A and B are shown apart, each in its own frame.
Chain A
Amino acid sequence: MSPYDADTREHTRPAAVCARGWGWRHSGRAAQAVRDLELDIAPGERVLLLGPSGAGKSTLLHALAGVLGADQDAAESGSLTVDGENPAVRRGSAGLMQQDPEAQVVLSRIGDDVAFGAENLAVPRDEIWRRVGNALDAVGLDFPLDHPTSSLSGGQKQRLGLAGILAMQPGLLLLDEPTANLDPAGVLEVRDAVLRMLESTGATMVVVEHRVAVWVDVVDRIVVLAPGDRGQGGGVLIDGPPRHVLTQARRMLTGAGIWVPGYIPVTRPRRGALDGQIAGQIGGQIAGQAQTGADVLLDADVLLDADQLAVSRQAANGGKRRGAARRLPAAAVASGIDLRVRAGAALSITGPNGAGKSTLALTLGGLLPPLDGRLRAADALSRGAGNEPHRWSGGDLIQRIGTVFQEPEHQFVTGRVLDELNFGPKLLGRGSERVDELLERLRLTHLAEANPYTLSGGEKRRLSVATVLAANPSLLVLDEPTFGQDANTWADLVDLLTELLDAGTSVISVTHDQEFTQLLGGTQFQLTAAGRRTVENPTTACGGVR
Chain B
Amino acid sequence: MSVDVMAGPRSTAVLARANPLAKLAAALMLTIVLLLSVDWASATVALVCELAVLPLAGLSARTLLLRGWPILAAALVGGYGSALLAPKTGAVLLDWGPLLFTEGSLQSGLAIMLRGIAIALPGVIVLASTDPTDLADALAQKMKLPHRFVLGALAALRLVGLLVEEWQTLGMARRARGVGSGSGFAGRFKASLGQALALLVQAIRRASRLAVSMEAKGFGAGPRSWARESRFGPLDAQVVAAAVLMVAAVVGAAVGLGTWNPVFG
Which residues of chain A have a CB within 8 Å of any CB of chain B? 62, 65-67, 91-96, 98, 100, 102-109, 111-112, 115-125, 128-129, 132, 146, 148-151, 161, 164-165, 168, 313, 316, 324, 354, 362, 365, 367-368, 393-395, 397-398, 402-405, 407, 409-413, 423-424, 427-428, 453, 467-468, 471
Contact = CB atoms under 8 A, between A and B. Distances in A.
Interface stretch (B2-10, B73-81, B100-108): B2-10
B144 interface: no
A164 B212 contact: no
Contacts of A146: 10
Contacts of B180: 394
A313 B194 CA distance: 22
A67 B215 contact: yes
A417 to B, nearest CB: 14
Interface residues of B, number: 57
Contacts of A128: 225, 227
B178 A161 contact: no
Interface stretch (B30-38, B113-121, B153-161, B250-258): B153-161
B142 to A, nearest CB: 16
B176 A62 contact: no
Contacts of B161: 150
Given A108-B7, A354-B1, A119 B224 contact: yes
Interface in B58-99: 63, 66-67
B216 A120 contact: no
Interface of B: 1-4, 6-8, 10, 63, 66-67, 132-133, 154-155, 158, 161-162, 168-170, 172-181, 194, 198, 201-202, 205-206, 209-210, 212-229
B34 to A, nearest CB: 28
A94 B216 contact: yes
A214 B237 CA distance: 57
A143 to B, nearest CB: 12
Given A102-B206, A398-B178, A468-B176, 8 more contacts: A62-B212, A96-B213, A103-B210, A118-B225, A120-B219, A394-B178, A395-B178, A453-B201
Which of A94, A116, A125 gathers most chain B CB within 10 Å? A116
A23 B73 CA distance: 63
Contact of B213 (A104, A404, A453): A104
Contacts of A427: 178, 181
A292 B181 CA distance: 44
Contacts, number: 183
A316 B172 CA distance: 10
B155 A125 contact: no
13 contacts: A98-B213, A103-B213, A116-B217, A124-B225, A128-B227, A149-B4, A164-B217, A313-B168, A324-B63, A362-B172, A394-B175, A428-B178, A471-B178
Nearest to B229: A125
B148 to A, nearest CB: 11
Contact of B223 (A102, A117, A122, A395): A122
Contacts of A424: 177-178
A132 B217 CA distance: 14
A148 B181 contact: no
Nearest to A96: B216
A468 B175 CA distance: 11
A111 B133 CA distance: 12
A471 B177 CA distance: 9
A112 B228 contact: yes
